[in-house]
Amino acid sequence: MGKTILVAGAGHGGLAVAADLARKGYDVTLLEKKAEEALGYDWTDIFAPQSLIAAGVPYPSRSLYSYKENMTFFPPAQSVTLTQNVPQDEREIKMERRDIYAHLVAHAKRCGVKFRFETPVTAPLLLGSRVCGVLAGEEKLYADLVIDACGMDSPLRSALPQVCGVEPEIGANNTAFVYRAFFARTGDFTPAHSYEVYVLHQGRQEIAWVATEDDYADVLIVRFAPFGEDEVQQALADLRRTNPHIGEEIVRGGQFAKIPVRQPLSQMVADGYAALGDSAFMTVPLIGSGIANALKASHILSRTVTDDKDCAFTAETLWKYQVGYFKLLGAGYAAMTCLKNALLSMEPAEVDFLFERGILTEDQITITANTTNLQSMMKMSVKDLVDRAKKVCTDKILLTKILRIASQIASATALCAMMPHTWATQNVRKWVANYNAFFAKQQKG
Ligand SMILES: Cc1cc2nc3c(=O)[nH]c(=O)nc-3n(C[C@H](O)[C@H](O)[C@H](O)COP(=O)(O)OP(=O)(O)OC[C@H]3O[C@@H](n4cnc5c(N)ncnc54)[C@H](O)[C@@H]3O)c2cc1C
């Protein structure tokens, strides 16, 4: 076969797709800007272990992970709680990010992937409108296919010429800014719930979680605009009022990061190019989880590549990957983006009402990155939401907002169903323009 594939970025998606393609006989080189020892962050991640199997990656050793507890959600007034009820066999696992990467790197090496660490790619190389390689510093590296797994700020995606049709930027209000640290526990206070999530925390545009472990409290603070140390201290002071066990000493983490929280990228492929994982905005828009999706998508991409017997790797042959991703997950996440945007535009008292009057239920907050049949779950969930809202909602403004969410979700679902199943340039361009316009309008409210 001898076809060369460059994968840029050794995140979950990049490592998994590189391994799968190398195993199938392609000549795969993975370019990663960091050193091998510096991959990842100093914290644990939660993800659906079945996604490893879906990506053709073996399970890690049992000693490396534990099972995640159900999350308990608090509305702004903290007047009631809602706890997830994830079935035993669908529970996600919790694993050190560095261990996940070490596991994926070892697997990729066994599959024959060639690694070049400390090699940041800076731009795509183009032959007309076809991506034919990447620029890494002064070096020009050519390939039959470039897989962009560089994450949300990918320098490859953002430098593609307009003619390729791929959206370069993430867009306003689509980034979650995150601070995460593990604090030593103090005193003998034990919270009633081991994994607390505060929605619109203290009435701010903020989500915070406290996951209590034996030795530390894992605190995550999420906002939708950049923030700094002052806001962290403010959130911590508020959290400590109900969680006095959160000590002052940071034992791990203490870093700021970013996560894309938006609808999937409208066009993930171009001639010689495919975007994967965060660079194609594949995270769950409500919670920012992206590991399972990047892993599952890696397999769809690798299958699409191997199905292209002539190794043309054009937008036309790679389009099947996008269609497969939207069918499995993307359409559901596009619909979920409407819900996320609506929740963020609600007043704290309205969110309190949704919790207190049972309009939001356990089932709805149990939708995770592991949920199968995402599209039908979203549909059912919204129908239930509307039915319950109609019964108890005396506030006309809130009811109108809920009905509008339902109608936007229905429109997003219909729009995704209209995505062309096979590539025809004009049809794809038209669909992409409609999809982008729909979400741009939504952002404006
Ligand atoms: C604080 C935080 C907590 C999270 N927790 C979870 C969680 O618990 N569960 C979950 O499912 N998801 C979680 N996520 C999201 C998850 O990290 C991502 O969705 C997932 O890692 C996406 O994988 P990816 O393959 O797109 O690569 P990314 O993780 O985005 O990695 C991209 C890789 O590309 C490399 N790179 C970037 N630029 C270049 C360049 N120019 N040249 C070469 N290499 C480059 C980077 O160094 C990196 O190794 C979290 C994210 C953050 C920030």
What's 175-260's CATH class?
Answer: alpha beta
The 10s digit of each residue's pLDDT in 86-126 is 888 888 999 999 999 999 999 999 999 999 999 999 999 99
Q: So what's the pLDDT on residue 93? A: 93
Please determine, for residue 379, whether its predicted confidence score (pLDDT) is greater than 80: no
CA distances 366 to 110, 198, 361, 377, Å, are 36, 15, 9, 11
**Is the pTM of the predicted complex or chain greater than 0.85?**
yes
CATH code 3.50.50.60 region(s) in the chain: 4-65+96-170+265-327
Q: How far apart are the first and last CA of the chain?
A: 51
Burial class (CB in 10 A: 0-12, 13-18, 19+), 12: buried
The ligand 1 atom nearest the CA atom of 154: 38
The predicted structure's pLDDT at residue 345:
85
pLDDT recorded at residue 406: 86
Q: Which of 39, 41, 66, 150 to mutate to test the pocket of ligand 1 (most atoms within 8 A of CB)?
A: 150
Which residues does a 6 A CB cutoff place in the pocket of ligand 1?
A: 8-14, 31-34, 39, 45-47, 120-121, 149-151, 155, 178, 180, 257, 259, 277-279, 283, 288-292, 294, 369
Chain centroid, CA 223 distance in Å: 16
Q: Which of 12, 195, 329 to mutate to test ligand 1, by most ligand atoms within 8 A of the CB atom?
A: 12
Q: How far apart are CA 363 and CA 382, in angstroms?
A: 11
CB hemisphere CA count around 109 (13 angstroms): 10
CA of 120 to the centre of ligand 1 (A): 15
Residue 329 confidence (pLDDT): 93
- Tokens 């992206």 label which residue? 290
More confident residue, 408 or 232: 232
* 329 contacts 375 by C-beta, under 8 angstroms: no
Closest CA to 379 of 315, 334, 325, 433: 334
pLDDT in tens, 323-374: 999 999 999 999 989 988 888 888 999 899 888 888 888 877 776 555 656 6
Interaxial angle between packed helices 331-344 and 374-392, expressed in degrees from 0 to 180 and rounded to the nearest 10: 30
CATH 3.30.70 domain extents, the chain: 175-260
CA of 169 to the centre of ligand 1 (A): 17
What DSSP designation does 155 have?
A: T
Distances (CA, A) of 78 to 29, 70, 178, 239, 385: 50, 18, 22, 12, 21
Q: What is the pLDDT of residue 348?
A: 94
> Is the domain 4-65+96-170+265-327 a CATH 3.90.1150.10 member?
no
